Amino acid sequence: MAPIASLLASLVALPSNLLVLFLVAGLAALGLSRRRLGLTLVGLSAAGFLVLGVLPGGFLLLEGLEDRFPPPAPPAHVDGILLLGGYLDTATLETRGRLTPLASIDRLLAAAELARLYPDARIVVTGGEKYGLAFPGQPPEAEAAARLLTEMGIDPARLVVEPRAVNTWENAVLSKPLAAPRTGETWLLVTSAAHMPRAVGVFRAAGWPGLVPWPVDFRTRGGWATWRQLRAVSTGLAAADAAVREYAGLVAYRLAGRSSSLFPGP
């Protein structure tokens, strides 16, 4: 029950859902002649939709995360590549008969590119069954990703597959004994730019040496271009949801002692 309760709480706390709740509650209050309360809730909802959806407020929240770790210069030598999960919908294997890439598929594509650039590097692919409760029997994401990397021409002997992790902390602690990283080695940490602060904090707390953050999957354009990133209201709200989820994760992991700092940086 705890995972289900956690999921429900996180859904309610997302800005897009919260704004809808404010709107519904406000209209209900107006219907019950609670004029001041109703107008306040409706006004908060309208302001939230304006700032986060119409204006680039959602993208600006996300940009603060994505700018934390700028893309580095390619190292001269790399011992390993850490590919964190979250880019494949494995549940569609059962329902549609094929894997479906998610918006963060750039993680997998970047890892394949780096694997070719550093042909001697090992590739750690970590990720378990994300939808196990709803779709039991689906393949772990790491195993599906390993097959895709092999089909892209990556030697399977280079792959270290960790198929059990279902969150960032487990990515770090379950992958470490399999990869056995040593002091002095260089490991590229590949994940979405907005997820990078949390990932770096977790891997540092887990004692992983030689980390070089390699952010990919940027959702904001950066700088002044972000202010002109006006799209559908739903897109701005999705950016706000993603940002709030990451900021909440940073706080939760720090409180749980699973991150090296509240807002890890270079």
Give residue-wise pLDDT tens across range 30-74: 999 999 999 999 999 999 999 999 999 999 999 999 999 999 999
Q: Which residue has the higher pLDDT, 53 or 97?
A: 53
Averaged pLDDT for residues 80-102: 90
Asked if residue 88 has pLDDT above 70, the reply is yes
pLDDT tier, 222 (very low <50, low <70, confident <90, very high otherwise)? confident
Decide if 208 contacts 181 (C-beta within 8 A).
yes
Burial of 189 (C-beta count, 10 Å sphere; 0-12/13-18/19+): buried
List C-alpha distances in Å: 141 to 130, 138, 245, 257: 8, 9, 21, 27
Q: Kindly indicate the confidence band of residue 102, based on its pLDDT and cuts at 50, 70 and 90.
A: very high
So what's the pLDDT on residue 23? 96
Q: Domains plus CATH for the chain?
A: 2-66+232-253 (no CATH), 80-217 (3.40.50.620)
Q: What does the radius of gyration of the chain's CA atoms come to, in whole angstroms? A: 20
pLDDT tens digits, one per residue of 117-162: 999 999 999 999 876 555 566 789 999 999 999 999 999 999 999 9
- pLDDT tens for 202-220 read 999 999 999 999 999 999 9
- Let me know: does 6 contact 167? Beta carbons within 8 Å: no
Which is it for the CA torsion 40, 42, 44, 47, positive or negative? negative
Amino acid at 183: T
**217 phi-psi bin (left φ>0, alpha ψ -120 to 50, beta other):** left
